[in-house]
Amino acid sequence: MHHLLKLAALAAWIIAAPALAQTAPAAPTTAVKPPAPAPFTWREVMIPMRDGVALQTVILTPAGQSEPLPILLRRTPYGVPDKAPAEVPASLKALAADGYIFVIQNLRGRFKSEGEFSLSEDSRVTPGKGTIETRDAWDTIDWLVKHVPLNNGRVGVMGVSYDGLTAGVTLLDPHPALKAVSEQASPVDQWMNDDDHRYGALRLSYDFEYAVLEEADKNANTHFAFDKWDTYDWYLSAGPLPALNDKYLHGKIKYWNEATEHPNYDSFWRQQAWAETLRGSTVPNLNVAGFWDQEDPWGPWRIYRQAAAHDPDHTNLMVAGPWCHGCWRGKATSLGPLDLGQDTALAFRATIEAPFFAYWLHGKGAKPDWAATIFETGSNAWRTYKAWPPRDAKPTSLYLHADGSLSFTAPGAAEAGAHRDYVSDPANPVPYRQRPISPTYPGGDWRHWESADQRFVDHRPDVLSFVSAPLDKDLVVAGEVAAELYAATSGTDGDMVVKLIDVFPEDAQTPPWPADDGPKPGQFAASLNGYQLPIAMEVRRGRFLKDFEHPAALAPDKPIRWDVPLRDRDHVFRKGHRIMVQIQSTWFPLIDRNPQTFVPSIYAAKASDFVAARQRVFASPDMASRIILPIVP
């Protein structure tokens, strides 16, 4: 949930030149241009909450404000600016042009804000009252409209990631002055999906490093000090999960303790699934998601669907694009090496986000007449939809075949009993991205790994690849994608990872390298030729196939159906491209290693519990493994 909206001031330096000799001709004088006035005035206040706790809050008022303006609030655990910015940040220019009083507040227990900070308590729902952050936002808005000079009585809340969560939970009990919300990449259920787990499979490296980031020090964002650059090697060398506390954290990080003490979907996690209590659209809300969001890709879609249950005024909107986590707040002109033809982030901020807030907070412009606006990759064009998913999208089966092919033809009688096997060894897990794998924070390669070329694992003996013939026409996929596998394991537990991939032709780019003759630092590749672009990737854990709260062992070598949701997509597989599906059982250290022996809790597994297992994926008439694509004519 880590996304810092930085408001940085620019420093100006004046260097005096030594005096010239008297005999030299006088140099023409050049007037020194004075620095531009700061666009905001800065004020810090401590806003009281109903329980007496005061929260550190910064108010940025447009310089020279002379008329009432709406307030735009962001609530964060990451820190507030300690001075006014010297210029308007690029991420806020479109909004600032319309005129807002910007307010940034530290959550309780962070930096100068009083109270106690807790990752788990922040999302815990009290029936009828929302979460702690619902109540703190209500009290903050109430104070702002009463005490900030020249506000027009209308407040909007926005934010990305954790800040998106604090925006989203205001929907559970909105203040009367709250007129517009934009939750962007908000998590909603940390066990079911988003940051910490995927259907109960622990997102190991992220969960461990983020818990340290937020709970190690009240006054700082703390990066765990790895003694190896390749975190794949570090986590593997650390051994089973109990070692992380025994050797490194020593029980001092509350959220890590809680996560490992609650391996199943019990009341601890269900009470934090705040969006499940949302029963309709209570305030106009612009939900924003990235299709390649490596942290919170699921939450905005869940909020959108919950609010859509009762939305008579059509105030619940969905926007999604070709973005990593929060990348719509920066510059987004490419996806891997794929040129998108425009700055999709700028287009979102200028033509979707700013008009949304202008309508609801300023009373300017027209009310949006669409339900969803999506940037469709492949065609690289914005699409608007009256309903999502599109009503004309038809679920269509793409079948896996034992010869390694994919086709829209189901397995025939000649394929009775057909299957493919591989051995999954937790001692040699498949890396989730190319090694060396740098730490999640700060920065590094973490932000863009979901669009990385998957050829780095293609043809590993523990990765199955299925590929279609080149497409004879464009294939438009819009809506929810899913996998339905029939598989068996020789163990008593195990994971299945499914990847849906767009394989570019070998001559997709001519010349094969751009003019700068190679990839820039941080790029995965500079050429599109043969590129394997992931479109959807997800994991399911065998112990939770039947029940999320009460795990059960798998019967060795007995086929069972694995349903693997692959979330909403809007992508065109272009003519001449091929579709690929990769299947594997480890994805490390993104996902913790399954011992492949059933134990009551994987988080308490011993080294002796980890065993290699033979995995069998079926592609027969009676067990036809398939990908379900919502194809638009």
Four-residue CA torsion sign, 561, 411, 402, 591: negative
Separation of alpha carbons 552 and 557, rounded Å: 15
Task: Answer whether 49's CB lies under 8 Å from 136's CB.
Answer: yes
Contacts of 383 (CB under 8 A, 6+ apart): 373, 374, 375, 376, 478, 570
Task: Answer whether 157's CB lies under 8 Å from 71's CB.
Answer: no
The pLDDT of residue 30 is above 90: no
Domain ranges of the chain: 40-184+280-385, 197-269, 394-512+523-632
Answer CATH for 394-512+523-632 from 3.40.30.10, 1.10.3720.10, 2.60.120.260, 3.30.2130.10: 2.60.120.260
Range of lowest pLDDT (116-125, 468-477, 516-525): 516-525
Q: Which of 6-10, 117-121, 519-523, 593-597 has the highest mean pLDDT?
A: 593-597
Answer CATH for 40-184+280-385 from 3.50.30.50, 3.20.20.10, 3.30.565.10, 3.40.50.1820: 3.40.50.1820
The pLDDT of residue 363 is above 50: yes
Per-residue pLDDT at 2: 46
In CATH terms, the superfamily for domain 197-269 is alpha-amino acid ester hydrolase ( Helical cap domain) (1.10.3020.10)
Taking only the tens place, the pLDDT of each residue in 410-450 is 999 999 999 999 999 999 999 999 999 999 988 678 999 99
- In which band, very low, low, confident or very high, does the pLDDT at 11 lie, cut at 50, 70 and 90? very low
Taking only the tens place, the pLDDT of each residue in 614-629 is 999 999 999 999 999 9
Range of lowest pLDDT (154-158, 457-461, 543-547): 457-461
What's the mean pLDDT in 107-128?
92
Task: Answer whether 285's CB lies under 8 Å from 179's CB.
Answer: no
Taking only the tens place, the pLDDT of each residue in 305-315 is 999 999 999 99
Of 510 and 315, which is predicted with more confidence?
315
Taking only the tens place, the pLDDT of each residue in 50-91 is 999 999 999 999 999 999 999 999 999 999 999 999 999 999
Separation of alpha carbons 586 and 594, rounded Å: 8
Per-residue pLDDT at 309: 95
What's the mean pLDDT in 187-208?
96
The pLDDT of residue 9 is above 70: no
Strand partners, 373: 319, 384
Taking only the tens place, the pLDDT of each residue in 275-291 is 999 999 999 999 999 99
Task: Answer whether 591's CB lies under 8 Å from 241's CB.
Answer: no
Does this chain's domain 40-184+280-385 share its CATH topology with 197-269? no
Average pLDDT, the chain: 92
Per-residue pLDDT at 32: 73
Per-residue pLDDT at 1: 55
Per-residue pLDDT at 524: 47
Task: Answer whether 463's CB lies under 8 Å from 496's CB.
Answer: no
Four-residue CA torsion sign, 383, 384, 389, 391: negative
